[in-house]
Amino acid sequence: PLVTATTSAGPAPERMPIALTSVLPAVAEAVPAPGDDFRITSDTTIVGDDDIADQLAAILRPATGFALPISTRPTEDSIRLRREPGHGAEGYRLTVHRDGVELLATERAGLFNGVQTLRQLLPTAIEADSPRRAEWIVPGGTINDRPRYAYRGTMLDLARHFHTPDEIRTHIDRIARFKINHLHLHLSDDQGWRIQIDAWPRLTEVGGAPGTGVGGAGGGFLTKADYRELVRYAADRNVTIIPEIDMPGHVNAAQTAYPELTCDGVAPRPRTDMRVGYSTLCVREEITYRFVEDVIRELAEMTPGPYLHIGGDETFATPHGGYLAFQRRVLPLVEKYGKIPYGWHEIGQSPAATRSVLQFWGRERNHPSVATAVAAGARLIMSPANRTYLDMEYDLLTPGGLDWAGAIEVSTAYGWDPATLLPGIPAASILGVEAPLWSETLRTEDDIEFLAFPRLVAIAEIGWSPRATHDWASFRSRLGAYGPRWVRDGLRFHRSPEIPWS
Ligand code: TNX
């Protein structure tokens, strides 16, 4: 059966087009033109010279079974993709008439986003990988859409449980549907080290060995070739990869490989438990800074995106003065290699963080050091743990998941506003939102998707859609209508009792 946005009386549901306003995340403006619908047929062509035209064809061909040739000459009955000024970095305009569809954007990213929207305006059957009988109707009207925030992100923690490149690619496919445009990879922690660094090969030989995940599960690491391939795969889908090496805390795995990174020179035992805050680099030793610079340089070399995340959280084993001395040296090192320093909000305690991005992971109350850093120039990504942490359980019955920031059902993930979360933060200092998925309790790809979906869609909407569209009743009904697409995709999402799943 096709997904329909309404269940009211009228034409037979399977013949009714999806509402123009049914998109996730909500579009900025939609003006429906009821009845002026476009029908994709065996005569339809795709017109455009961006690779996004090929992406659109690859989405539409399997289920329709139509040839959908790509040409550069506009014809009747075509879906035209075209660039023009005026739509912003990621915005687009989608116009649907009986005689054709036009997608306009200034940048490739805007065309990509418009294609994600168009995909959701077609019946669920469009997701099938072989020909289906259906009426391939796109609802008439015009959508003008653009993001509220430039940064809509999520995070995978490869350190506590390694996720393979294949699993990461599948996840990228799934997040990009919702216009998530940043994927932060937490690549090192006490349990493991997950990225090849040529100058310090034992990091992955020892820290990426089998069994280096929580509970002794998993293990593994990304080679530089794996990482570069992921960067490219993500970029095709408008996703920027952000690498994180967590320091000066969360470094036990590095120290098992290189005991000279401890103050007493003694190798600690490998750790696969879930405790945090016990390890620290030796902030007074020069070798520490040689290590850090090598890692930053090699990471920067293989990362085209603007950000390099240096962790900085939960440094309970680092003396406070030593933490500040460490950041005074390390934050400029990130800039030396051409990247914007990014860290958990604790780095805001450093006066050297004025050009940094702080990832706020606290709760909704006053954080004077964050406000001070922002007043001095730092910018913010909002990841309040009690709203965005995808590793928190949904409710007491959730298999897996942690609970230290509370249970997070879909309505909790949806029920906040980045602009008013913290007092004293000017709107222009907020770059966007990110939903981290820590992997202490994860083992399989199903575990990832169960905790991420549907909550990540709530965070995607908070990041993309204008404040004025924020509406729980609308969100839950659009989300409920999306369910069959995930079913078809074989994605094991949380069937939240809050949502009217179709
Ligand atoms: C806190 S949030 C951490 C991580 C844990 C996570 C589990 C943050 C910056 N640090 O080390 O994995 O909680 O929810």
Residues 61 and 205 in one domain: no
307 with 450, same domain?
A: yes
* Domains contained in the chain, number: 2
Residue 479 lies in a domain: no
**Ligand 1, atom 12, residue with closest C-alpha:** 438
* Structure confidence at residue 364 (pLDDT): 77
For ligand 1, atom 10, the nearest C-alpha belongs to: 313
* In a shared domain, residues 329 and 459: yes
The CATH number of the domain holding residue 120 is 3.30.379.10
Q: For residue 477, tell me if it sits in a domain.
A: no
Residues 108, 224 within the same domain:
no
- Asked whether residue 337 is domain-assigned, the answer is yes
Report whether residue 278 contacts ligand 1, using a CB cutoff of 6 Å: no
| Greatest CA separation for the chain | 76
Q: Which residues contact 146 (CB under 8 A, 6 or more apart)?
A: 28, 87, 88, 90, 91, 92
Residue nearest to atom 9 of ligand 1 (CA): 313
DSSP track, 124-186: GGGG-SS------EE--EEEEE--SSSEEEEEEETTTS---HHHHHHHHHHHHTTT--EEEEE
Looking at residue 7, its pLDDT comes to 40
Q: 359 C-alpha to center of ligand 1: Å?
A: 12
Do 140 and 157 reside in the same domain of the chain? no
Counting from 1 in the atom list of ligand 1, the atom nearest the Cα of 404 is 14
Please tell me whether residues 130 and 224 are part of one structural domain: no
203 lies in a domain? yes
Q: Are residues 109 and 209 in the same domain?
A: no
Low-confidence ranges of the chain (pLDDT < 50): 1-14
Give per-residue pLDDT as tens, 366-406: 788 899 999 999 999 999 999 999 999 999 888 889 999 99
Provide the pLDDT for residue 72.
Answer: 85
Residue 489 lies in a domain: no
- Tokens of residue 97, six digits: 């008439």
Hey, whose CA ends up nearest to atom 6 of ligand 1?
438
- Indicate if 166 and 272 belong to the same structural domain: yes
Domain co-membership, 194 together with 285 = yes
Q: How far is the CA of 438 from the centre of ligand 1 (A)?
A: 7
Containing structural domain, residue 98:
13-145
Q: Is the CB of 344 under 6 A from ligand 1?
A: yes
Among residues 119, 145, 171, which one ends one of the domains? Answer: 145
CATH of residue 181: 3.20.20.80
From 145, 179, 206, the end of a domain falls on 145
Of the candidates 229, 314, 445, 498, the residue annotated as catalytic is 314
Ligand 1 centroid from CA 291, angstroms:
24
* C-alpha 242 – ligand 1 centre gap (Å): 17
What distances in angstroms separate CA 453 from CA 23, 266, 446, 447, 492, one per listed residue?
Answer: 16, 43, 10, 10, 8
Report the complex ipTM: 0.95
Task: Note whether 253 and 398 are same-domain residues.
Answer: yes
Are 101 and 167 within one domain? no
Alpha helices, DSSP H, located in 339-471: 368-375, 385-388, 410-414, 445-452, 455-464
**Closest residue (by CA) to atom 4 of ligand 1?**
438
The per-residue pLDDT for range 142-180, each reduced to its tens digit, is: 999 999 999 999 999 999 999 999 999 999 999 999 999
Please tell me if the CB atom of residue 274 comes closer than 6 angstroms to any atom of ligand 1.
Answer: no
Instruction: Report the separation in Å between the CA atom of 148 and the middle of ligand 1, taken as the mean of its atom positions.
Output: 27
438 lines ligand 1 (CB under 6 A): yes
Answer with the one of 100, 126, 145 that is the final residue of a domain: 145
Please state, in angstroms and rounded to a whole number, the distance separating the CA atoms of residues 278 and 355: 29
- Three-state secondary-structure class, residue 101: strand
**How much is the pLDDT for 15?**
56
Residue 482 near ligand 1, beta carbon < 6 Å: no
Report if residue 403 sits inside a domain. Answer: yes
Decide whether any atom of ligand 1 lies within 6 Å of the 360 Cβ.
no
Closest ligand 1 atom to 392 CA: 14
Distance CA 66, CA 329 (A): 59
Task: Identify the residue whose C-alpha is closest to ligand 1 atom 11.
Answer: 276
Q: Report the distance separating Cα 163 and Cα 74, nearest Å.
A: 44
pTM: 0.96
Question: Can you give the pLDDT at residue 1?
Answer: 32
Give the number of other CB atoms < 10 A from CB of residue 158. Answer: 28
> Can you give the pLDDT at residue 10?
43
Same domain, 249 and 342: yes
Q: Rounded distance, CA 365 to CA 82, Å?
A: 46
For residue 82, the cross-strand partners are: 104
- 293 carries an active-site annotation: no
Residue 1 lies in a domain: no
The pLDDT score that the predictor gives to residue 218 is 87
- 391 pocket-lining for ligand 1 (C-beta < 6 Å): yes
Ligand 1 neighbour 36 (Cβ under 6 A): no
Q: 160 lies in a domain? A: yes
